[in-house]
Amino acid sequence: MPDPRPVPAAAADLTRRDHGAVLTVDLAAVAANWREMARRAGAAATGAAVKADAYGLGLVPVGEALARAGCRHFFVAHLGEGERLRAALPDAAIHVLNGLPPGTAPAFIAHRLVPVLGSPAEVEDWAAVSRGDHPAFVQVDTAMNRLGLTAAEAEALAGRPDLVAAAGLSHLLSHLSMAEVSAAPLNRLQWHRFSALRARFPTLSATLANSAGTVLGPDFAFDLVRPGIALYGGDVSDAAPGLARPVVRLEATVLQVHDAPAGAVVGYGATATLARPSRLAVLSLGYADGFNRHAIRPDSGAGVVVRGRFAPFVGRVSMDLSVVDVTDIPGAARGDGAEVIGPSRPLAAYAAALGTIDYEALTSLGRRFRRVYLPD
């Protein structure tokens, strides 16, 4: 029996023909966000952090759009990410933040990737293979205690100009630990530590700021800034709310709508019991799409927007499905779009409902969404 109701326009949309969710990435917004960072960076060069598949949004399409906008410096985390980006951007400077794993120097050289050397051992390894013919960044630690030479190690390196030359060092890099809190005293402390180290390497350029660091002011920009989250529409800094233009839209499809009586239970484990006669909409969206099963609870504020109204999740999220309450949304129907992230449901609200931050919400987005890229 064919469904007698008219088919909503959204259901006829071929982009949703397999009933999955559609992830739309606005490349024009990515480019606009990069230009805003470049404006704030003043005379410094503006790069882009595109690690982790450009924060989940697609390394190659995002990297290509940024290159068209004028970006020349790209930061990835891994050698493999660098190799993928090199294939798409033959002329870009591609820097690998996680440094130089043992034995990989020839691969770095073959793909013209620039390691961000993060320990004395990495500096020695790189110098031994590259012999001054290939550039590298060197990272110094100013508060993170993650990667980077200690102040004492940096001091020792500064005393060895032969090694600085053999390693082809071009930039001194450090990373801010809490720049999104603009008044944090640690920002200025890191700036002072970095400036002191920089004075010991007068031939090197310098780079300190991520997105939030770029917002801290022109003196944090040094020679090159490395924004990431701002490009992707995330929350950047308490000093600049709403700075970034939204980039991501995620829309799932309502597979069916049905009534259920008060007292009925919903989903695996029967964790939810309906307090009233309800109308439930079943969505093609589950934990395989990045919806953390533990985070989605009635009290977490998690939900979607259907026909302009908020619909909270009911019961546990399954692998491929979830259920929302549309009792108070007249006309909610099979084939409706359910906005998960978008104009009515900002990324920040989505991330908060998942109990996390924009960064993790983006990099956890499922791999099976149909992806649509709006042109830059």
Ligand X SMILES: *Cc1c(COP(=O)(O)O)cnc(C)c1O
Q: Which two tokens stand for residue 234?
A: 């995330």
E runs forming strands in the chain: 22-26, 45-46, 48-49, 73-76, 93-96, 113-117, 136-139, 169-173, 205-207, 224-225, 248-260, 265-266, 272-273, 278-283, 303-306, 309-312, 322-325, 337-341, 370-374
Q: Which two tokens stand for residue 57?
A: 């949004």
Please tell me whether residue 243 binds ligand X under the rule CB under 6 A: no
- Exactly one of 114, 229, 314, 329 binds ligand X (CB under 6 A); that residue is 229
* CB of 36 vs ligand X, minimal distance in Å: 13
Q: Which stretch binds ligand X (CB under 6 A): 100-108, 153-161, 192-200, 210-218?
A: 210-218
The sign of the torsion formed by the CA atoms of 160, 161, 165, 170 equals positive
* CB of 174 vs ligand X, minimal distance in Å: 8
The sign of the torsion formed by the CA atoms of 189, 167, 205, 181 equals negative
Residue positions counted in the chain: 376
211 vs 278, beta carbon nearer ligand X: 211
* CB of 366 vs ligand X, minimal distance in Å: 21
- Exactly one of 58, 227, 286, 315 binds ligand X (CB under 6 A); that residue is 227
Please tell me whether residue 211 binds ligand X under the rule CB under 6 A: yes
* CB of 135 vs ligand X, minimal distance in Å: 17
Residue 51 bears catalytic tag:
yes
* CB of 52 vs ligand X, minimal distance in Å: 8
Q: Which amino acid is at 57?
A: L
Please tell me what DSSP assigns to residue 274: -
- Exactly one of 23, 38, 41, 49 binds ligand X (CB under 6 A); that residue is 49
Contacts with ligand X: how many residues (CB under 6 A)?
12
The site string for ligand X over 253-292 (x = CB under 6 A, - otherwise) reads ----------------------------------------
Torsion-angle region of 270 (φ positive above 0: left; ψ -120 to 50: alpha; else: beta): left
Please tell me whether residue 30 binds ligand X under the rule CB under 6 A: no
Please tell me whether residue 210 binds ligand X under the rule CB under 6 A: yes
Residue 232 bears catalytic tag:
no
* CB of 282 vs ligand X, minimal distance in Å: 35
- Exactly one of 22, 62, 94, 97 binds ligand X (CB under 6 A); that residue is 97
Please tell me what DSSP assigns to residue 140: B
DSSP letters spanning 87-130: HH-TTSEEEETT---TT-HHHHHHTTEEEEE-SHHHHHHHHHHH
Residue nearest to ligand X (CB): 228
Please report, for residues 13, 70, 95, 157, 289, the alpha-carbon distance to residue 135 in angstroms, rounded to integers and kept in the order given. 49, 21, 10, 16, 40
Q: Which listed residue (51, 55, 287, 350) is catalytic?
A: 51
Binding residues for ligand X (CB under 6 A): 49, 51, 97, 175, 210-212, 226-230
The residues annotated with a catalytic role in the active site are: 51, 268
